[in-house]
Amino acid sequence: MTQDDLSIADPKMRAQGVSVFYGEKQAINDVSIDVGTDLVTAFIGPSGCGKSTFLRSLNRMNDTIAGAKVTGTIELDGEDIYAPSMDVVQLRARVGMVFQKPNPFPKSIYDNVAYGSRIHGLASSKADLDGIVERALTRAGLWDEVKDRLTESGTALSGGQQQRLCIARAIAVDPEVILMDEPCSALDPIATAKIEELIHELRGKYAIVIVTHNMQQAARVSQRTAFFHLGTLVEYGKTTDIFTNPKAERTKDYITGRYG
Amino acid sequence: MTFNAAALLLLILGLALIGWLAGRARSAMLAGRSGKKLHSRPQYHGWYVALWLFVPAAIFLAIWSSVSPGLITNQVLASPAAESLPAFGFERSAILSDARDVAQGKAAKVRLPAAAPLVEPYAAATHRYAWIGIAAMLALALAGGLYAFTRIRPDFRARTRVERIVMALLLLASLVAILTTFGIVLSLLFESLRFFSLVPMRELLFGTHWNPQSGAPVADTFGGIPLFWGTVLIGAIIAMIVAIPIGMMSAVYLTQYAAPTVRKWVKPMLEILAGVPTVVYGYFAALTVAPALRNFAVAIGIPNASTESALAAGVVMGVMIIPFVSSMADDSINAVPQAMRDGSLALGATPNETIRQVLIPAALPGVMGGILLAVSRAIGETMIVVMAAGLSANLTANPFASVTTVTAQIVKLLTGDQEFDSAKTLAAFALGLVLFLVTLLLNIVALRIVKKYREAYE
């Protein structure tokens, strides 16, 4: 693995020697990576390379899968997230997640966005909660489209709107990191462009990690790119370097479309 | 010579086997001789012959078995010896059946002297109709078999025909249950109409006094409200207060918390509860739960607590329904996509918050459907209420008092010697009709809810 010229002085998240096992099967082998505070980091690689698995270990969503085991250390602001003292509920409030398929709850648009705030008791009054919902929807670029129908069901929105609703839902909890697991794979090109635009706008406010199949997307939205193959991190560097001047042969073959 | 249906069925099965072999052999032979390729494989030609041979003959056999006793009796009644028979009633049929048993070798000699002269005509008629039946059946079998046999040609589409016959048989099988239900409904309906010609429908549905007397209808004794209330109190209120929370909680535990090994053991055990005969629950309710509840009621100073109480029957019925509610809730919760659960957990919700705020609301329509189905089962349940709820029709909200239900009253009205034309007996059919319509409605609504909900996640 090559990792020179990565000037991340104060990483938001730092993974060192991380391996993930599902029962007997090893899905991730010895991955070390730093996630910058105000950067968008893209994980690319062919299907089954372990990039989603690795992403899910960053907010311990792998805990919900029976038989999953993570070794190595993952730190958030220098704090080991797998330490016994870490409260997984608080961790997930700090490290939000957006999924591959939009998964709004079968509740109103308002209740979808307010869900996390209510659970964590972030709002002290109804007006406060209204403010949180409006800010989150505005940041997610959805406010103008839904402000007149906040009581309608979140599932009645279009696919792209649903995905932005899910991003708003994650933002409303005021996280520090947002993990996105192929957020555009179920969307059409126009909805995809909107999400990418949104990622641009959110950059700097949150550390963003995005898993994507689409290499053009990685090139467009990210500043750092990590290339995974067969459960290992092959190459990690500035996005411009990875796409114009890859160091590893496998990376070159993948981004030029020889496999994957 | 008697008409032995089982032996004849074996006979035509044997003929069908011969037909199968013959058809198969003939198709192969014809193909070999003409050099043409067979459209269908030889065994399909065999099946074609066998089915044509067997099915018409078997249908005839079934019809003849039910028709011929009547024909035999008619012939006997037409004989001179039958003129001395009493005109109607029990004695006449006893004499006839006595003579028939002797004539058909089921009894050694007549018990009623009046039957003796009828034995000879009976034997003759039995003999005659047996021969007619056998001859007709064999003729039908052979005609069918020959018809099919002569149609065999290399390009004959035997496979298509066989598939079509098989399809028709399958359709027939699925119609049996539907037509039977239809027949039951019709018979319920006709008997109910007879009842409503004696007692106005308004009285049954809205009257508040239930005390049916045998014989002629007396005004104000067929009020169904106490029964309907008892049914609702036991089946829809008390049983559901027990079954819904416990069933839901066990479903939540099994789907969300239980380790796979625990689930593997607990779920089948819960389902075994559903297989316990209801009469066993009835014993439990009447002998264990009811006395315990009565003692409890007396201890806390509730007057007129009865050993037969709505509470005992309702609680035990609720326990009986638990696996039903639990399994429907289990299915609905499992049908909520994993993504929904992940979405909630990823926002920092605890498993408990996820269940209460996301999974259960999302599963609610399915759960509601399950509960309605459970109610429809509970109000149709008979054995527990007969044994534990009592038979006195009280219009009371006191769960420690004895109440009665529609099903318990139907049992009471129809057991023992009854005349099938008294208002009292006919009332059972009218009650049955009401019960049938209510459960039918509940089932339709429940299935619609469940179906609509399933579509939402596909």
Lowest mean pLDDT across B71-80, B282-291, B401-410:
B71-80
Chain B residues within an 8 Å CB radius of A97: 342, 346
Cβ-defined contact of B348 to A90 (cutoff 8 Å): yes
Give the mutation candidate from A64, A111, A209 for the B interface (greatest B CB count, under 10 A): A64
Compute the nearest-CA separation of B457 from chain A (Å): 11
The partner residue sitting opposite B345, judged by closest CB among A61, A107, A169, is: A61
Domain boundaries, chain A: 3-255
d(CA B448, CA B368): 11
**What residues of B are in the A interface, CB distance below 8 Å?**
260, 337, 339-350, 353, 357-358, 361-362, 456
B329 located within any domain: yes
Report DSSP letters for A126-190, one per residue. HHHHHHHHHHHHHHTT-HHHHTT-TTSBGGGS-HHHHHHHHHHHHHHT--SEEEEESTTTTS-HH
Which pair of tokens denotes residue A248? 């590893």
What pLDDT band is residue B403 in, cutting at 50, 70 and 90? confident
On whether both B154 and B252 belong to a single domain, the answer is no
The partner residue sitting opposite B343, judged by closest CB among A90, A105, A120, is: A105
A91 touches chain B (CB under 8 A): yes
What's the pLDDT score for residue A127? 94
The partner residue sitting opposite B348, judged by closest CB among A103, A106, A119, is: A119
What's the pLDDT score for residue A2? 42
What's the pLDDT score for residue B267? 87
Compute the nearest-CA separation of A133 from chain B (Å): 15
Chain A residues within an 8 Å CB radius of B358: 105
**Across A75-104, average pLDDT:** 92
Q: Give counts: helices (H), strands (E), chain A.
A: 10, 10
What's the pLDDT score for residue B2? 62
**Across A229-235, average pLDDT:** 92
- The Cα diameter of chain B in Å comes to 97
- Containing A32, the helix (H) or strand (E) segment is strand A25-35
Lowest mean pLDDT across A28-32, B79-83, B136-140, B361-365:
B79-83
**Across B102-109, average pLDDT:** 78
Number of domains making up chain B: 2
Is residue B57 predicted with pLDDT exceeding 90? yes
What's the pLDDT score for residue A187? 86
What's the pLDDT score for residue A3? 45
Compute the nearest-CA separation of A152 from chain B (Å): 16
Q: Which residues contact B306 (CB under 8 A, 6 or more apart)?
A: B294, B390, B400, B401, B402
**Across B407-429, average pLDDT:** 81
Chain A residues within an 8 Å CB radius of B340: 103, 105-106
Dihedral sign, Cα of residue B411, residue B412, residue B414, residue B417: positive
What pLDDT band is residue B137 in, cutting at 50, 70 and 90? very high
CA-based nearest residue to B326, from B235, B277, B254: B254
What residues make up the domain containing B234? 225-457
Residue scoring higher pLDDT (B365 or A76) = A76
Q: Are A209 and A58 in contact (CB under 8 A)?
A: yes
Cβ-defined contact of B347 to A119 (cutoff 8 Å): yes
Question: Which residues pair with residue B234 across a beta bridge?
Answer: none
Cβ-defined contact of A105 to B345 (cutoff 8 Å): no
On whether both B268 and B375 belong to a single domain, the answer is yes
Cβ-defined contact of B362 to A89 (cutoff 8 Å): no
Q: Are B332 and B325 in contact (CB under 8 A)?
A: no
The partner residue sitting opposite A103, judged by closest CB among B343, B350, B353, is: B343
Give the mean pLDDT of chain B.
Answer: 86
Q: Are A6 and A34 in contact (CB under 8 A)?
A: yes
Chain B residues within an 8 Å CB radius of A89: 348-350
Cβ-defined contact of B349 to A105 (cutoff 8 Å): no
What's the pLDDT score for residue A1? 42
The partner residue sitting opposite A99, judged by closest CB among B339, B348, B350, is: B339
**Across A70-82, average pLDDT:** 93
For the beta sheet containing A68-76, the strands, ordered from the edge strand earlier in sequence to the opposite edge, are A25-35, A13-22, A68-76, A79-80
* Other CB atoms within 10 A of residue B443 CB: 16
Convert the pLDDT of each residue in B227-271 to its tens digit. Answer: 999 999 999 999 999 999 999 999 999 988 888 899 899 888 888
3-state secondary structure of A209: strand
d(CA B144, CA B167): 19
Cβ-defined contact of B342 to A99 (cutoff 8 Å): yes
On whether both B164 and B256 belong to a single domain, the answer is no
Q: What's the CATH number for A3-255?
A: 3.40.50.300
d(CA A124, CA A132): 11
d(CA A148, CA A109): 11
Tell me the count of A-B CB pairs closer than 8 A. 66
3-state secondary structure of A108: strand
Q: A residues 139-178 near B, CB within 8 Å?
A: 166, 169-170, 173
**Across B42-55, average pLDDT:** 91
Report DSSP letters for B248-262, one per residue. HHHHHIIIIIS-HHH
Cβ-defined contact of B358 to A105 (cutoff 8 Å): yes
pTM passes above 0.90: no
Chain B residues within an 8 Å CB radius of A61: 342, 345-346
Give the mutation candidate from B347, B360, B452, B455 for the A interface (greatest A CB count, under 10 A): B347
B217 located within any domain: no
What's the pLDDT score for residue A4? 45
d(CA A141, CA B240): 47
**Across B201-226, average pLDDT:** 79
Cβ-defined contact of B346 to A59 (cutoff 8 Å): yes
Convert the pLDDT of each residue in B317-342 to its tens digit. Answer: 999 999 989 988 888 888 888 889 99
**Across B103-115, average pLDDT:** 77
On whether both B410 and B289 belong to a single domain, the answer is yes
B252: domain CATH number is 1.10.3720.10
Domain boundary among B151, B182, B213: B182
What's the pLDDT score for residue A8? 66
- The Cα diameter of chain A in Å comes to 57
Compute the nearest-CA separation of B237 from chain A (Å): 29
What pLDDT band is residue B98 in, cutting at 50, 70 and 90? confident
Cβ-defined contact of B260 to A61 (cutoff 8 Å): no
First to last CA, chain A: 20
What pLDDT band is residue A133 in, cutting at 50, 70 and 90? very high
Is residue B458 predicted with pLDDT exceeding 80? no
